[in-house]
């Protein structure tokens, strides 16, 4: 059997920007992408802690701005600047792989810096 399991999660990210006039996605700081084991253009699920919205988009990497969490395009309508969100990615795996799998979880502080990492 193939199961869909949580691969990685960025918890308590604060939305720093929104840009309706963009074709879509979530722009994330390069260090957050690397530490969360994400790839540019990888699908992610967004769960808005502040208002309950849930949606799917993909990752765009920001090379220069640390701590940036920017929702673009239609997704920008589902957040406000300052909202707390969860960014989750999932992976398909066999039962055998799932037995040993532990997701990588980053917990961020108020400035979107990594406060804690869990496996």
CA 17 to chain centre: 14
Averaged pLDDT, 79-103: 97
Say which of 58, 90, 91, 94 is annotated catalytic. Answer: 58
> Residue 50 is encoded by which pair of tokens?
């502040």
8 part of the active site = no
> Residue 110 is encoded by which pair of tokens?
């108020």
Averaged pLDDT, 100-112: 97
The structure's pTM equals 0.95
Contact at 8 Å (CB) between 17 and 28?
no
25 part of the active site = yes
Model confidence at 22, pLDDT cuts 50, 70, 90, reads confident
Q: Quote the mean pLDDT of the chain.
A: 96
Write the pLDDT tens digit of every residue in 53-67.
Answer: 999 999 999 999 999
- Say whether pLDDT at 24 is over 80: no
Say which of 25, 47, 50, 89 is annotated catalytic. Answer: 25
Q: Which domains does the chain have, with CATH numbers?
A: 2-118 (2.40.40.20)
Sheet holding 54-62, edge to edge: 17-19, 69-72, 25-29, 54-62, 43-48, 84-94, 2-14, 104-108, 114-118
């Amino acid at each position: 059997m193939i199961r869909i399991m949580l691969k990685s999660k960025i918890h308590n990210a604060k939305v720093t920007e929104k840009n309706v006039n963009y074709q879509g996605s979530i722009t994330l700081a390069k260090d957050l992408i690397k530490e969360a084991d994400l790839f540019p253009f990888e699908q992610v699920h967004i769960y808005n802690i502040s208002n309950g919205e849930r949606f799917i988009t993909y990752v765009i990497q920001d090379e220069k701005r640390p701590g940036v969490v920017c929702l673009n395009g239609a997704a920008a309508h589902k957040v406000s600047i300052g909202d707390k969100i969860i960014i989750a990615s999932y992976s398909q795996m066999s039962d055998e792989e799932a037995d040993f799998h532990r997701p990588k979880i980053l917990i961020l502080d108020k400035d979107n810096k990594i406060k804690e990492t869990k496996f």
